[in-house]
Structure 1
Amino acid sequence: MFSEHKVSQMAGYFLSLCEGNSMPHLKLMKLLYLADRKSLDEYGFPISGDSVVAMPHGPVLSMTLDFINGAAKSSSGGWESWISDRSNHRVSLRSSSHTRGDFDELSDIDIDILDEIWIQFKDMGRWDIRDYTHDNCPEWEDPKGSSMPIPFRKIFEALGKSRQEAVALEARIEDEVAIEGVFARL
């Protein structure tokens, strides 16, 4: 299930690692997607719980993009508490002094994945990382100026899982989302 607080902290963590606590929003979106993809590969679940869509610039976390674009209302302690409004195609961390304890929505495993993604992609510019996702994420297909959902099954298959295993892993995510939805309504 999507967690605004968790994805806000993911974004905040990446921004805390870069010079000036600011980066192009396109690069941030790709880092977030690649972190979720790595988590899917290693643990069978995304970190953010967001759904994925194919857009002209590659795979994107759907709700997260709405927050970056200011199209979603932030809850208390959520996106707007962590990330500045987009300006000149960049986003920034609202506060530059964070400790590990501030990222309390993220497990140590989540942080390890974010660190691995950062080490691998920190030196890429926004267009380079965009091109990387076009060339190395076969689950993405050019939506020809629009957007289209990328099912988790397709990501699992692109990661080398068999069709049967990919379907089972996708069903496990859907079951988890349904269970979390029940508890969220209580």
Structure 2
Amino acid sequence: MNKTSLFDERRAAQAAAFLLHKAGGGLPLIKLVKLMYLAERLSLQRYGEPLTGDQLVSMQHGPVLSQTYSCINGATQSLEGGWETWVADRAGHNVGLRDPSMIRSPELDLLSLSDSDLEVLSETWTEFGHWNRWDLVQYTHEHCPEWKDPDGSMIPISHLTLFNKLGYTPEQALALSSRLATQEQLKAAFF
């Protein structure tokens, strides 16, 4: 899967750190993956803007943020101030903060995240943070209609598909997904 040029590793790492901080320092991997996806989805639903800019994909256990999943699995080289700064290496099926003392207050220490990002993450945590991982998997299967069973593979979820499933009119969905594609092209041209 190609890395989408809208993906911001620092924002993804700090979003993960926010959720891990709320959990007391660690979470089961699949729970973190589901919470990250639900936060990305809420940001796109509410603001038409991504939280991490990651590629959305359908996998066996539901929708996932592709590059974030690669970061969790150590499959990518981390940027300075990125994933490895905030999140410890995966330990079996669990993920934790690299150094919990780095976060005294998310608002003061997770500076790559905007106020609206923190709001989305906080709402996601409030709604789903107490759920167990397998209930979250089931929830994403049943309540994220953009997810399709990939039959053991991985299927991209386009922004257009997601915006349509989120209830935007076809015109709005096309305009929002076109704007994100233009942002991606511009970012790719300058970076």
Shorter-chain TM-score bucket reads: over 0.9
Aligned to 2:21: 16
Cα drift, residue 124 of structure 1: 0.5
Aligned to 1:36: 40
Tell me, what secondary structure is at the counterpart of 1:94? coil
Q: Deviations over 1:15-55 (max 9, x none)?
A: 00013x00011111111111111111111111100011100
Q: Deviations over 1:100-128 (max 9, x none)?
A: 22201000110001000000001101101
Aligned to 1:66: 70
Aligned to 2:50: 46
Does 1:84 find its partner at 2:91? no
Aligned to 1:175: 182
Cα drift, residue 165 of structure 1: 1.7
- How far apart are the structure 1 equivalents of 2:118 and 2:190? 26
- How far apart are the structure 1 equivalents of 2:118 and 2:69? 21
Q: Among 121, 134, 138, which residue is 1:127 paired with? A: 134
Identity percentage of aligned residues: 44
- How far apart are the structure 2 equivalents of 1:101 and 1:95? 16
Write the letter of the residue equivalent to 1:6: R
- How far apart are the structure 2 equivalents of 1:6 and 1:163? 29
Q: CA RMSD in A?
A: 0.9
**TM-score if structure 2 supplies the norm length?**
0.93
Does 1:140 find its partner at 2:140? no
Q: Between Structure 1 and Structure 2, how many residues are aligned?
A: 183
- How far apart are the structure 2 equivalents of 1:160 and 1:168? 14
Q: Among 45, 61, 67, which residue is 1:57 paired with? A: 61
**TM-score if structure 1 supplies the norm length?**
0.95
Does 1:160 find its partner at 2:164? no
Q: Deviations over 1:40-77 (max 9, x none)?
A: 11111111000111000000001111111111111111
- How far apart are the structure 2 equivalents of 1:93 and 1:167? 38
Cα drift, residue 94 of structure 1: 0.9
Write the letter of the residue equivalent to 1:95: D
Tell me, what secondary structure is at the counterpart of 1:60? strand
**Which consecutive unaligned segments of at least 5 residues does structure 2 have?**
1-5
